[in-house]
Every structure is written in structure tokens, then in C-alpha cells.
Copies of this chain bind each other. A is one copy, B any other.
Amino acid sequence: MTETTDMPAPEREGAPLKIGDVAKLAGTTPRTIRYYEEIGLLPASGGREPGAHRTYSQADVDRLIEVMRLRTLLGVSLDGLKELVEAEDNREALRREWHEGVPDPVRRREILESLDEHAERQLKMVRARRDEIAVLETELLERRARIGRRLRELEDEPATA
């Protein structure tokens, strides 16, 4: 009864994923993934024969999830997302360069500062949203407080005048 190794390939580590797997993991549809590829938001999985199946890695899934999360939480358009994706590409390139080991300390500092600016930009957008949400929450809480006071006033009224 213990799960052995004969599970569908994509569930194992490192195996290439098909578009349906990616869609399920990212909570979207194959059509959306194809559309994102069509408009250049996602890279066309390289060197694909016409008609052949698209293949993806777990890293592709992570990127897609991240991009979709930014989209829904920050409410940006797909045009805006393209910029975010370019920034993410740039970020990954910097991270890769960093992990390959850069000897020059000047360059090391440059990489870190670029990464920091990227995080700061995203943080600003997130905080703007956070503040808008907070205002709405405060309004709703005040509304409930007023209603609560009214209810308590009712309690204190004589049952019938």
C-alpha cells in the first residue's frame, strides 16, 4: 500500500510537465497558458516542433504562479504584467549570476543592490494595495461598531413604552 515509484511521471521530481499539469498546479487553464505564450508573456517552450506537446519545468510553474498572484492581488493589466515579468526575468538572471559565484566584490554589490531595488518596487505596490484594503476594513469595522452601539441601546430600552 505504500506509494512506490510507479506514479505518473510529472509527480516525480524533475520530470517535464505538460500544459495540463502546469494549469492544474497554477490554478488556471491550458488555454490561458497558451494565450500568455502567444502574447509573449511566457516564453515559448524552446525548439518545439509544430504540433508537438509543450513541456515545462517546476520553475516555469513557480513563475506562472507568482505572476498570476501579482496580477490578481495588485490588479494590473497584462501590459503591466509584461513589465513585471521582465523584471522577474532580470531578477532570476541576477540570482543565477550570484549563485554561480561572482568574484568581483564591486559586481557582487551591484547585483545585491539591483535585487534590493526590485524588491522595494514590488513592496511599494503591495503596500499601496494594503493601505486601500485597510481603509475599507476600517470603514466596515466602524460601521459594525455603530450598529453594535444601537443594538445595546435597544437592550436598555424599556421592553414596551
Given contacts A105-B154, A109-B154, A126-B137, 12 further A-B contacts (CB under 8 A): A72-B75, A73-B132, A73-B133, A112-B150, A112-B154, A113-B151, A116-B148, A116-B151, A119-B147, A126-B136, A130-B133, A130-B134
- Given B122, B140, B154, B160, which contacts A108 in the complex, CB threshold below 8 Å? B154
In whole Å, how far is A151's beta carbon from the nearest beta carbon of chain B?
5
- Given B119, B129, B132, B136, which contacts A143 in the complex, CB threshold below 8 Å? B119
Chain copies in complex: 2
Cα–Cα distance between A122 and B143 once the two chains are bound (Å): 11
Cα–Cα distance between A10 and B157 once the two chains are bound (Å): 43
Task: Check A140–B115 contact: CB distance below 8 A.
Answer: no
Task: Check B140–A122 contact: CB distance below 8 A.
Answer: yes
Given A109-B154, A147-B112: A119 and B133 within 8 A (CB)?
no
Contacting B at CB under 8 A, from A113-161, are: 113, 115-116, 119-120, 122-123, 126-127, 129-130, 132-134, 136-137, 140-141, 143-144, 147-148, 150-151, 154, 157, 159-160
Q: Is A69 an interface residue (CB 8 A)?
A: yes
Task: Check B137–A130 contact: CB distance below 8 A.
Answer: yes
- Given B123, B132, B148, which contacts A137 in the complex, CB threshold below 8 Å? B123
